[in-house]
A and B are shown apart, each in its own frame.
Chain A
Amino acid sequence: MSIEIVNYTKSIKGSTVLDNISLRFDPGLIYALRGKNGSGKTMLLRAIAGLVHASSGFVMIDGETIGRDREFPRSIGVLIERPSFIDKYTGLQNLKLLAGIRGKITETDVKAALEAVGLDAADRRTYRKYSLGMKQRLALACSIMEDPDIILLDEPTNALDDEGIELARGILAAKREAQKLIIVASHDAYELDGLIDRTVTLRNGKVVEDFACTDCEPSSATKRGA
């Protein structure tokens, strides 16, 4: 399942947040969208997900134009910003409720997604009592639980500890092996260095860099940590 973005422009209240973007994303690869806050990373993820309408241009997924042929992509999991869950329910209860909407997966799949991000499916604690890191893990589990072909993650390592980051890296690597298409937006995704196949850098809604990462230099942060 490949994504093709063609001359995509999005303006909101007179301000151009995505400016004539043309990109192609292929399955079995992990892409990083980089750029400062306000550069258009999150908006580009929304555009791919069909959450926003283009001012001009279009997003095509496997030959279907989003917003015209299909309202939303067929198989997609997203983590955009920090979604909330029902405070008084456990992680498992929350995900089961959401999984019910599409009815594609069983409780076993939901539990597997929770275990994959390091959360205990039998944990009786409610979402209200979760730490920030646990909340982020739950959101990550929610985005992958239906085993979508396209995974869009916005700042997925936010609030994660080292163990959580390692788990996230493992999940992304496994999904790549399974030929999933993964796009990760981060203003500084050094935690995922070595895992990224291609990097697209945005500035003021425009693509300013787009390169394969075979020649990528580890970021300064990684160098420091090495």
Chain B
Amino acid sequence: MPKRFAYLLLYDLHKGLAEVKWRFMVAFALFAVLFVRFLIQSHSIEGEWQATVVDAFAFVSLGMGFFDVEKGVPFMLDLPWAMLLVAQLGMVGFYPADDFDENGERTALLAKSRLLWWLSKCTWVFLTLLLFFGVCLLLVIVYYLVAGVFGFGVGFFGAGAFDFHAEVVFLGHETMQLQDAPETLFPALAAALCLPFVVSLGLGLAQVLLSFVVGRAVGLVLLLSYAIVSTYFTNPFLVGAYGMLLRNSLFNPDGISNTQVFLSYAVLIVFVVFAGVICFRKRDLMGAKREG
């Protein structure tokens, strides 16, 4: 069974990555544009600080603060955040349904299991997003290496790792200070590097499931509506905007803690995977065409 799953996943990686190549490139290009925007803005800041890899990732995942009409804080959706989310959902959200229509019957039969088929698709989403974030991270690291400002001094992840600067500057919004202490640095790293991935994974899997249940386009519209509504209202069931760092408790006393984000998304991910198992156990495997 594990071997069969591994080969099914290998098939999905080959076919899936070939099919989403251009969507992957679009999402990566969008990230690159946001990174360039960060560089332009960071260079315009005077002072002794030096931006880091983590700063760049934090900037891309910044999002927007809480909307508070009573305090006169207007609601302004952070478009780069929304665009990057759409790009990522478009990248991972459709291939499983496309493959289901084209090859679901054959691959499920070869694997002899609907369960393996579904779990393979979920794992494909996980690995594709991991690859995406890995490539984005690589871009930023390479830039700082080439620019000669990538430090090897501190070794926060161990010897020879990032030179993390405690002062995280969020340009275009506001400047916030972190305490230069490990108990603050680790959550900051988790928030900047892991949290966007976890949020994308949760919403990406939800998109995959919705594609099967209500269709690709309707699923995307529903999920985006949910994500946008979650930026407007504060509710424990509206976790779509939990990836926005400006709403993180590290930077906002009333914000959401990393623990809360990770727990919420763990619940969402488990729910989606389990719902998919139930859905596929009862589902007829028929492609898009139903002839004969």
Q: Which of B11, B107, B286, B291 contacts A52 (CB 8 A)?
A: B286
Per-residue B-contact encoding for A169-206, CB less than 8 Å = 1, 0 else: 00000000000000001010000000000000000000
Cβ-defined contact, A71 with B114, below 8 A:
yes
Cβ-defined contact, A87 with B18, below 8 A:
yes
Cβ-defined contact, A86 with B18, below 8 A:
yes
Cβ-defined contact, B109 with A49, below 8 A:
yes
Cβ-defined contact, B107 with A46, below 8 A:
no
Q: How many residues of B contact A (CB 8 A)?
A: 30
Answer whether residue B185 sits at the interface, using C-beta atoms and an 8 A cutoff.
no
Interchain pairs with CB closer than 8 A, number: 92
Report B-chain residues with C-beta under 8 Å of the C-beta of A50.
109
Report B-chain residues with C-beta under 8 Å of the C-beta of A40.
292
Q: How far is the CA of A187 from the CA of B291 in the complex (A)?
A: 11
Answer whether residue A42 sits at the interface, using C-beta atoms and an 8 A cutoff.
yes
Report A-chain residues with C-beta under 8 Å of the C-beta of B15.
86
What is the minimal beta-carbon distance from B133 to any residue of chain A, in angstroms? 25
Report A-chain residues with C-beta under 8 Å of the C-beta of B10.
97, 100
Answer whether residue B282 sits at the interface, using C-beta atoms and an 8 A cutoff.
yes
Q: How far is the CA of A209 from the CA of B10 in the complex (A)?
A: 45
Query: What residue of chain B has the Cβ atom nearest to residue A51's Cβ?
Result: B285
B-binding segment of A77-85, A114-122, A130-138: A77-85
Answer whether residue B163 sits at the interface, using C-beta atoms and an 8 A cutoff.
no
Q: How far is the CA of A223 from the CA of B143 in the complex (A)?
A: 74
Q: Which of A41, A88, A101 contacts B7 (CB 8 A)?
A: A101
Q: Give chain B interface residues in 28-59, CB to chain A under 8 Å.
A: none
Answer whether residue A63 sits at the interface, using C-beta atoms and an 8 A cutoff.
no
What is the minimal beta-carbon distance from B113 to any residue of chain A, in angstroms? 6
Query: What residue of chain B has the Cβ atom nearest to residue A155's Cβ?
Result: B292
Q: How many residues of A contact B (CB 8 A)?
A: 38
Q: Which of B7, B11, B103, B112 contacts A84 (CB 8 A)?
A: B103
Chain A binding surface, main DSSP class: loop
Answer whether residue B201 sits at the interface, using C-beta atoms and an 8 A cutoff.
no
Query: What residue of chain B has the Cβ atom nearest to residue A78's Cβ?
Result: B109
Q: How far is the CA of A43 from the CA of B285 in the complex (A)?
A: 11
Answer whether residue B14 sits at the interface, using C-beta atoms and an 8 A cutoff.
yes
Q: How far is the CA of A88 from the CA of B14 in the complex (A)?
A: 10
Q: Give chain B interface residues in 1-21, CB to chain A under 8 Å.
A: 3-4, 7-8, 10-11, 14-15, 18
Q: How far is the CA of A142 from the CA of B103 in the complex (A)?
A: 12
Per-residue B-contact encoding for A31-61, CB less than 8 Å = 1, 0 else: 0000101111111011001111100000000
Cβ-defined contact, A41 with B292, below 8 A:
yes
Q: Which of B18, B106, B114, B287 contacts A142 (CB 8 A)?
A: B106
Cβ-defined contact, A52 with B109, below 8 A:
no
Cβ-defined contact, B110 with A98, below 8 A:
yes
Answer whether residue B71 sits at the interface, using C-beta atoms and an 8 A cutoff.
no
Cβ-defined contact, A101 with B107, below 8 A:
yes
Report B-chain residues with C-beta under 8 Å of the C-beta of A149.
none
Answer whether residue A224 sits at the interface, using C-beta atoms and an 8 A cutoff.
no
Q: Which of B11, B108, B113 contacts A98 (CB 8 A)?
A: B11
Cβ-defined contact, A52 with B18, below 8 A:
no
What is the minimal beta-carbon distance from B280 to any residue of chain A, in angstroms? 11
Q: How far is the CA of A102 from the CA of B292 in the complex (A)?
A: 29
Q: How far is the CA of A208 from the CA of B102 in the complex (A)?
A: 31
Report B-chain residues with C-beta under 8 Å of the C-beta of A167.
none
Answer whether residue A14 sits at the interface, using C-beta atoms and an 8 A cutoff.
no
Which of B4, B8, B10, B110 has the most A CB atoms < 10 Å from its CB?
B110
Q: How far is the CA of A37 from the CA of B289 in the complex (A)?
A: 12
Q: List 27 A-B contacts (CB under 8 A).
A: A12-B290, A37-B291, A42-B290, A42-B291, A43-B292, A45-B292, A46-B284, A50-B109, A51-B286, A52-B284, A72-B108, A72-B112, A80-B105, A80-B106, A81-B287, A83-B105, A86-B14, A87-B18, A98-B107, A100-B10, A101-B7, A101-B8, A101-B110, A103-B3, A103-B7, A154-B292, A185-B292
Q: A12-B284, A100-B11 are in contact. List 19 more A-B contacts (CB 8 A).
A: A35-B292, A46-B105, A51-B105, A52-B286, A72-B112, A78-B106, A80-B105, A80-B287, A81-B291, A83-B106, A84-B102, A86-B14, A86-B15, A97-B14, A101-B7, A101-B107, A101-B110, A102-B7, A103-B7
B positions within 8 Å CB-CB of A: 3-4, 7-8, 10-11, 14-15, 18, 102-103, 105-114, 282, 284-287, 289-292
A-B pairs, top 3 by smallest CB distance, nearest first, are: A42-B292, A100-B7, A52-B284
